[in-house]
Each structure stands twice: as structure tokens, then as C-alpha cells.
Amino acid sequence: MREVGHFIGGEHVAGRSGRTADIYQPMTGEVVGRVALASNAELRAAVENAAKAQPAWAATNPQRRARVMMRFLDLVARETDSLADLLAREHGKTIPDAKGDIQRGVEVVEFACGIPQLMKGEYTEGAGPGIDIYSMRQPLGVVAGITPFNFPAMIPMWKFAPAIACGNAFILKPSERDPGVPMRLAELMIEAGLPAGILNVVNGDKEAVDAILDDDIVQAVGFVGSSDIAQYVYARATASGKRAHCFGGAKNHMIIMPDADLDQAVDALMGAGYGSAGERCMAISVAVPVGEKTADALMKKLIPRVESLKVGPSTDPSADYGPLVTRAAVDRVRNYVEIGLQEGATLAVDGRGFTMQGYENGFYLGGCLFDNVTPQMRIYKEEIFGPVLSVVRAKDYAEALRLPTEHEYGNGVAIYTRDGDAARDFAAKVQVGMVGINVPIPVPLAYYTFGGWKRSGFGDLNQHGPDAVRFYTKTKTVTSRWPSGVKEGAEFSIPVMQ
């Protein structure tokens, strides 16, 4: 039985709270380890350790900080296979999907390697008579990230890489469901040359989260998870004077216009709707065909594709997706399917009866497909987070545009069309934070920012890209004058430039 503690001050530290949580292997349903759940005191010890280490790291020039990131990239490349295997066994996603999880995190680390350029301030010579003005970006101090189970490599790297590159010390509170990869990433950062104490991993539950939110040393908090908890974290963090950006749930729509390449759209729906068993905040969970003819043709192509999905263990290279993360997750999705039936939706494909031979205790669920879903139904309003796709038939483009615009979530949306005018109009008018045009999962590259609107995102700044540098730094502006020796006397009105 594997025991997972914390990583504080560059070393593994056993938990002292006496509380633990089980770590499951979703493929088999077995308990394979226990993870310590930190107390308030343990979290505080990690924060104090980080606070002691941070000033020296902040004083390290940006080039040297970037070199640590570059060495870390080499180490992750060396360890990709073992990291992906560990990730798949703890989370349940397939090995190729696990490698994609790692790669999208690596891309943000690559962006962070440009920190010498990204942290440059501004300078104006001669802003006034003998006066120069310049600005500088400085780190906040100790910052924290609370990250979800569904991307145990990507989201931690999205958080800690730019924060540390900017000169901060970082407290990472990953999901207790799959803590192995975040712990290994911290080890690799130390191997890359990061000073002890700059990246600390504290495993825990709500007690550790609240300790982070209330700690007076922690200056900023980033969060990814469900919308209710994102709102809670944002409110509590900002109430204690912290900077916060918190990203929540989603109900991502894909609009299929009558002129779309239907085969391309179906391929996109299959991958974006059922990849990673639907456990993605950017999963497409609502398909919106425009017009009955489009809807009928779409369903005719979708039904056999969903019926033929290959669900398998995470180690099966031919599996389309693997198990869900826990038994509770399976039960939750099953409950939503039952709700959809009770609400009057048509269950065109029912995957609830799926079992995996030889893995009968694993957390598996076959693909489910609903037709004739309406905006009044819970399965449309709420995030299911499983392999369930709902088809909402729109009579025209105006209705299709209105659906994602009026939904309480605003994370991602896609449109499939050959009409440039329609695509341009849609991108301009839809009230959603990230838009894909013939792209099903519109996750921007690392040098742009990632973030949703409405109940999908709380805070003024997004993740990665330039917003990450703004979030993890504060700007200091200096107005400088060197007297020429001429006595000018006191000035009692507000200074102005003559």
C-alpha cells in the first residue's frame, strides 16, 4: 500500500494530521494507496517554509530562473512515459490522453522560459523637466494553486510554472484523488535546480483549502474545479485581501450549421464529447444542429459511432476512453441519465449496461447519447462531467446563437460551418470566453490566455499567457528626478508637468 504525504522544503514529509484518503486505481476499482490530508498547522508550516525561501529566489535574475524551467522541460521529456503511466493509473484516462495532459502543461512551462522578456517594465526618458518615469514588475511573494483531479499534470504546471518564473514561491494543493503526478513534478523541479521551499505540495481536502484561503502570508490563489467551489474560493480569498482567479464548470455547445461537413462535425463531437470519458471542462456536452434536416442527418451518423465506442482499461492503446475517476463519479453520471429520461429526453444510446470483462470492479461507463433535449432540462442546465452528449435541436441560426449565450456557463463553444460570414458573426456575438471555428475544443495555445465567462470564471485575469504574468506580479512605478542644483522652492499644489 503506497503512502503519499507532502513535499515541503524540497523533501517528502509524512502527514501528521492522522487523516487520510484512499487512492484508487480506476481500471480495477482497487485501493492502491493512501494520501495524507493536511491540517491547518501543516499547511502553515509549508507556507512559512516558502516565505523564508522566496526572497532569495526573487533576487535571482530572470535568466537563471528561466534556466531552471528549461532543465525541468528536459526532465519531463525524459520522464514522459513514466509520468503518463502513473497519471493513467490514478486518474483513468488512456496513456495517449495522459501524454496530451502532460504536453499541454509543458507548453506553459515553455512560455514561462521567456520570463526575462515577459517581466520587462516600461521606461520614459524626459517625461518632464529632468524627470524620468519607469515601471517594474515584482513578484507577489507566496502564492498558491488548488488544482483538480481531471488534469493532474497540466493544471499544476499552468499554475506553478509562471508563478515561480516570476519569482514567487508556490504552494500547490492538488486533488487528493490522483496526487502522484504533482508530487513527481515537484521532485523534478528540485532536480532541475529549483531551490528547496519554492515549490511545496500539500495534499488535503477542504481543511487545507480553507487554510490557504485564510493564511495572511499567501498573496494570491488560483483555482480550477466546479463552479460552486470556484465561487466559494473566490469570495473567501478576496475577502481576506488576496488576488484570485477561479475557474469553474462548463456546458460547452457545438453548433452544426446546415452547410457543415457533417463527417468532420461527427468526428469532432466524438472526440470532444467522449474523450477522457467526458471528464474535461472543455468537453463538448451539447450538440446543436440547426434545422430538422441537419439534426436527423447528424443523429443518423452519431448513433452508430457512439454505439461502437471502445471503452477499455487505461493501458489499452486502442481504447477511445478509459474508466471514470471514482465509483461516485459513475453513480453521479448514471443519476443524470435517469434524470434525462424522467424529463422526457430521448436516450438514443444507453451505455449504462457496459461492463469490462476482467475489470468488473472498475469505474467504467459506456457512451450515452440524448436527443430532443430542451433548455429547461437539468441535463442541459447542469454539468454532467461524464460520457454523455445531449442534442438540442435549433430551428435556425438565431436560436443556436442564443443557447450558449444565455446559458449560465460560458467556458467554450464551437461552430462548424463553411460560411465565413456566419462564423465571423458567431465569434463576435456569442457570450462565451473561448470560441472554436471548426475546432471542437478551443483551448488557446500557451501564449494566449485561457478562461471562461459567467459562472465558468471568477476574477479579472485568466490562466497562462500574458495574464499569468500580470496575475503573479505587481507593478511598481518610479518617478525619478536628479536635481540640477537650481533651488526652486516648495510647491504646494499637486505636481503637474509644465
Q: Residue 269 sits in a domain of what CATH number?
A: 3.40.309.10
Give pLDDT, residue 104: 96
CATH code of the domain covering residue 12? 3.40.605.10
pLDDT in tens, 423-466: 999 999 999 999 999 999 889 999 999 999 999 999 999 999 99
30-36/20-25 β-pairing:
antiparallel
**One domain for residues 474 and 367:** no
**One domain for residues 209 and 352:** no
- 373 and 345 Cβ atoms separated by less than 8 Å: yes
Q: Kindly tell me if the per-residue pLDDT of 54 is higher than 70.
A: yes
Q: Which residue in 166, 246, 281, 368 is the catalytic one? A: 281
Q: Kindly tell me if the per-residue pLDDT of 486 is higher than 90.
A: no
Burial (CB count <10 Å: 0-12, 13-18, 19+), residue 364: buried
**One domain for residues 231 and 347:** no
CA distances from 19 to 37, 201, 320, 348, 493 (A): 5, 17, 36, 44, 62
C-alpha cell at 131: 524627470
**One domain for residues 429 and 460:** no
Q: Is residue 496 part of a domain?
A: no
Q: Is residue 451 part of a domain?
A: no
Q: Kindly tell me if the per-residue pLDDT of 482 is higher than 90.
A: no
**One domain for residues 228 and 295:** no
Q: Kindly tell me if the per-residue pLDDT of 485 is higher than 70.
A: no
**One domain for residues 281 and 299:** yes
Q: Is residue 498 part of a domain?
A: no
- 9 and 197 Cβ atoms separated by less than 8 Å: yes
pLDDT, mean of residues 351-369: 95
Give the SS3 label for residue 65: helix
Side-chain half-sphere CA neighbours of 221 within 13 A: 34
Give the SS3 label for residue 223: strand
pLDDT in tens, 290-301: 999 999 999 999
H or E segment to which residue 199 belongs:
strand 199-201
- 8 and 202 Cβ atoms separated by less than 8 Å: yes
Sorted by sequence, the CB contacts under 8 Å of residue 340 that are 6+ apart come out as 347, 370, 373, 377, 378, 379, 388, 390
- 447 or 484, greater pLDDT: 447
Give the SS3 label for residue 344: coil
Q: What are phi and psi of 442, to 5 degrees?
A: -80, 60
**One domain for residues 193 and 287:** no
**One domain for residues 145 and 198:** yes
pTM of the model: 0.94
Q: Structural domain tally of the chain?
A: 2
252-256/412-416 β-pairing:
parallel
Q: Is residue 399 part of a domain?
A: yes
The closest of 205, 210, 197 to 171, measured between CA atoms, is 197
**One domain for residues 145 and 274:** no
Q: Is residue 443 part of a domain?
A: no
Q: Is residue 51 part of a domain?
A: yes
404, 437, 470: which is the final residue of a domain?
Answer: 437
Side-chain half-sphere CA neighbours of 337 within 13 A: 22
Give pLDDT, residue 491: 74
Domain assignment of residue 115, given as a range: 2-248+456-478
Radius of gyration for the chain, computed over Cα atoms and rounded to the nearest angstrom: 25
**One domain for residues 40 and 159:** yes
**One domain for residues 369 and 285:** yes
- 70 and 155 Cβ atoms separated by less than 8 Å: no
Q: Kindly tell me if the per-residue pLDDT of 496 is higher than 90.
A: no
> Would residue 368 show up in a list of annotated catalytic residues for this protein?
no
Q: Is residue 492 part of a domain?
A: no
- 327 and 290 Cβ atoms separated by less than 8 Å: no
**One domain for residues 76 and 43:** yes
